[in-house]
Structure 1
C-alpha cells in the first residue's frame, strides 16, 4: 500500500482505536509521574528491613513516617529520657586528649551522660595497685576527662565490677584465694568476708575520684561460677547472688548516698516475690541489656512484668559496638541501629508497667568481650555507629530528616548521597562517612583499606599453601618441594608483604593521637602482623641457608600412623 493511501485511511483507523489510544496515553502519564519520583521509590525499595514501614505495620508496630511522604513527627514516638554513652576502657585506653575532643561531639548528638568502665585503666593505689595496667590513666588524666564531661553537661556514672568479671584482680596471686573456682579468675566467692573487703576498697577508690555522683554501676552480670566452693555449695545460687548484691548495694547507698545500678541478666529467672523478700528493690535499679536486633527474643514481656512488680525504675542498654563479633574491626551500623530502634519500641511498650518508667537508655561500646579477650572494634572505628544510634535514641526515630544533623556533627561535607540508601548496601558506612572529619576519622577510613589488604593476603596464602602444590603443610613438614616453584610463589609473596607492611605503617599513623602505643602494638599484631608474620617464615623456609640441595627417596614410613 502506498503512503498516500495510508494517509487516507488514517482518520478511520484512529477513530476505531480511539479507546486503546486514550488508555495508552493515560499509561504514559502514569509512567512519567513514576519516573519523576523514581529516586524516592528506589530509596524506599533499598531500605533495610528496620526502615520498611510495611513490614512493621504487618507486625502491628507503627514506625515514624519518613519525610519523603510525611513531614510531621508522629506524636507517639518518644526519645529516651537519658542517653548515656558507655566507654569501655579496659586494656586499651584512648588518650585523655582524644576523649576531650570526643565528648563535645557526644553532647551535640544528644548524649546526656557517660557510663565509664575504667577497669584496669583506673589508677588504683595501695593494695589494689597491681590490678592497674602499666599503661593506666594517671589521676590527673582522670580528673581531666571528668572535668571535660562536666563542661559538656554530661553526667558521669562510674562502673565497677563487684561480683563477676573481676579478672583484673582475681587473676593476680594476692587475690587468687578469693576466687569461687580456683581455675577460673572471673567470679568472686561471696561467702568470704575478705571478698567483701576487696569490693569495699574498689568502690572507695573509684568513688573518691567521682565525688557526688548520684549513680554507681556495680556490674554483677554473668556470674557463671557461683555456689561451687566449699563455703558456697550449701546455699542456693539465687540466695548467694541476692545476698552479695544487696550487701554491696547497701554499702554504696549508706556510704556515698549513690543509687547502685546492676545488669539484669542474673535476675531474669528469679520470681518477683523472691526479689521483694531480698530487699533488693529498695537498693538497686536494674539495667536490662540486649544487643541483638530482636530485643524481645532475649528478654520477653514476662521479665518486665516481674521487674515491674518489684522495681519502680528500669534502664535499657543497647550497643553501638562490641556485640557482633569478638575480632571485628568496624561495627555493622545497620544492626546496631536496628537494636537501638527496637529498644525505643520496647521502652514505649514496657515503660508504663513501671510506676516511674524507664530512666533511660545506655548505648554500650565494648572494647573486649572480657578482660582476657583480644580487642574488638576500637572506639574511633565506631564513631559513625555511635552517632547514628545516638541520634536515633535522642529523637525517638531515624530517617533522612536527621541526615544533616548527623553529617554536620561528624564534619562531613554536604551529603553526596542519601544516607539510608547507602547504609542499605554498605552497612559499615565505609562510603557514607568516608569524607567526614571527626575525632579518629583517619583510622575509620584506614579500616576500609585494611580490609582490602587482608583480603589480598588471605587470597595469597590460600593459593600458596592450599591450591598450589609446593608449599602445602605436607611439603613444609617434610622439607620436600621444588625450589623453582617456591621462587615463583615468593615473588607474589613480596608484593603481599609490602602491602601489609604499608598497612602497619598506616595504622600506626592513624592511631598515633588516639590510643597509646601499647594499644597500637596490640591492634597491629592482631589485625595486620598476624596475617603474614607466621606464614612468612613458613614460605621462606625452603630458601633458608642449609636447605637441602639433594633430596632423599620419597618416604612412606608415616603410613603406619594412619588410624
Structure 2
C-alpha cells in the first residue's frame, strides 16, 4: 500500500522541514515533443500554484535562430514573445539554457557547422574561443568537481559563473564529496543545485515513477540543510529531460510527468515532508480521482485527471499494459513457431496455429488505435 511506498517516511523520527527558500526553477527540455505555445498559457499558472518561481527554457533547435539551425517546427519570434508574456503573467522568471560544451548536437550535427567541433568525430562539444558576454552563466559543475581552490581561483571562476551541482540519484550526498562542498564554499559566493522530476531513469522510459524522483528531492533537501550554514544555495532547478541527447528517443513526456512535478514542487515549496501527505495535495492540484504516487508505483492508472496535458497522461499510462499483453501473445508457442518472420515472408504456415497465435491481436489493435485517436 501507499505507506509501504513511503519508506523512511516516519515523521516522528525526522526533523521538521521548512520550505526551500531559494528559487524553485522548472526545467523545460524542448529537444523533442515541444509544447504548443497555447500549452504554456495553462502550464505556467499551474506550476506557479505549486510553488515554482521560474522556468529554465532549453530551447535547442526550437528557437528561431537567424542562421540555419532551427527545426522545421521551431517557434517564431512572435511565439517566443508570447511564451515570455505568459511567464510574466504568472510572475515566473525565465532563464534560457543553451547547451554548449556538452550537448550542442543540434548545431554541430549539421554539415555546415562540423568544423566548429572540438573533436571532429563527436558532435557534442564546441571549442570555446569567444569572451563571455557580460552575464553570469549558470554552468553544470561536472568538470569542476575535482579541481582545487587554487585552480578555480586561477581562472577567476568564482567571479564569472555560478555552478549548478546536479545529481539525480536517491542519495546525492553519497556521490558528492565533502571536499567538493568545502572547495565550492570557498570559491563561489552562491551555488545552484539540480534535481529531477523526469527523464533521469532510462532513455526509453514511457511512464514516470514518482517515488524515484521524490527520493532525489528529499535527498537534496537533506544535503542543503547540512551545508546551508556554509553555502548560499541560490536555487534549485528541477530538471525534466525530454531525451538523453539529440540522437536518442523520447522519454517520460512532459504531460506524463506532471504528477511527479506536482509532488516535488509541493515538497520544495511547503513544509510538507511526508509522501502520503504530499500525494494527497498533489492529487487535489492535478484534479485526479486516484492516488498518483500509488498508481505510478503499480502502473495502475484506473481513473481520471484534469491538468494541462492530462489526456496524454491518461493515454500513455495505458500503453504499457497493452504492450505487455502484446508481448504475451508473441511469447505463445503458436506465435513463435508458426507466425515468425520466415512464415510471414513466405506466406507459409498452418492455419490452425495462425488462428491460435493471432486470436487476440485484433482486440489489441483496436485498443491501440483508440489510444492513438
1:208-235 CA-partner distances (Å, limit 9, x unpaired): xxxxxxxxxxxxxxxxxxxxxxxxxxxx
* Distance across 1 between alignment mates of 2:339 and 2:280: 53
Other structure's SS at 1:286 match: strand
Q: Aligned in 2, Cα 1:340/1:134: closer, same or farther, shift over 3 Å?
A: same
Matched, 1:116 2:57: yes
Which stretch has the larger CA shift, 454-463 or 402-411?
402-411
Partner residue of 2:77? 139
Q: Where does the alignment leave 5 or more consecutive residues of structure 2 unmatched?
A: none
Q: Aligned in 2, Cα 1:122/1:50: closer, same or farther, shift over 3 Å?
A: farther
Mapping 1:404-415, distance limit 5 Å? 405-412=281-288
Contact 1:344 1:396 in 2 (8 A): no
Contact 2:299 2:317 in 1 (8 A): no
Contact 2:206 2:252 in 1 (8 A): yes
Other structure's SS at 2:99 match: coil
Matched, 1:489 2:344: no
Larger RCO (CA under 8 A, 6+ residues apart): 2
Q: Aligned in 2, Cα 1:443/1:477: closer, same or farther, shift over 3 Å?
A: closer
Partner residue of 1:364? 239
Contact 2:25 2:235 in 1 (8 A): yes
Contact 2:199 2:243 in 1 (8 A): yes
Q: Aligned in 2, Cα 1:288/1:428: closer, same or farther, shift over 3 Å?
A: farther
Contact 2:334 2:357 in 1 (8 A): no
Partner residue of 2:331? 462
Other structure's SS at 2:124 match: strand
1:465-499 CA-partner distances (Å, limit 9, x unpaired): 76x42234565688764344234434443333333
Partner residue of 1:295? 172
* Distance across 2 between alignment mates of 1:51 and 1:429: 22
Match of 1:498 among 349, 366, 371: 366
Contact 1:91 1:133 in 2 (8 A): no
How far off its partner does 1:131 sit? 1.1
Partner residue of 1:85? 26
Match of 2:113 among 148, 153, 175: 175
Partner residue of 2:139? 262
Contact 1:430 1:445 in 2 (8 A): no
Q: Normalising by structure 2, what TM-score?
A: 0.91
* Distance across 2 between alignment mates of 1:97 and 1:43: 36
1:337-391 CA-partner distances (Å, limit 9, x unpaired): 111111111111122222xx10011110011111111111111111100000000
1:133-171 CA-partner distances (Å, limit 9, x unpaired): 001111111111101111111011111122221111111
Mapping 1:2-401, distance limit 5 Å? 44=3, 46-53=4-11, 57=13, 62-63=14-15, 74=16, 77-125=18-66, 128=67, 130-190=68-128, 193=129, 196=130, 247=131, 251-253=132-134, 258-354=135-231, 357-399=232-274, 400-401=276-277
How far off its partner does 1:446 sit? 1.4
RMSD over aligned Cα, in angstroms?
2.5
Q: Aligned in 2, Cα 1:83/1:292: closer, same or farther, shift over 3 Å?
A: same
* Distance across 2 between alignment mates of 1:368 and 1:43: 30
Q: Who wins on radius of gyration, i.e. which is larger?
A: 1
Other structure's SS at 1:77 match: coil
How far off its partner does 1:267 sit? 0.8
Other structure's SS at 1:51 match: coil
How far off its partner does 1:85 sit? 0.5
Other structure's SS at 2:242 match: coil
* Distance across 2 between alignment mates of 1:47 and 1:135: 41
1:381-434 CA-partner distances (Å, limit 9, x unpaired): 111000000000112543355556434432346xx7xx5xx73574278549x3
How far off its partner does 1:435 sit? 2.9
Partner residue of 1:452? 321
Other structure's SS at 2:74 match: coil
* Distance across 1 between alignment mates of 2:310 and 2:339: 40
Other structure's SS at 1:185 match: coil
Contact 1:80 1:396 in 2 (8 A): no
Q: Aligned in 2, Cα 1:495/1:402: closer, same or farther, shift over 3 Å?
A: closer
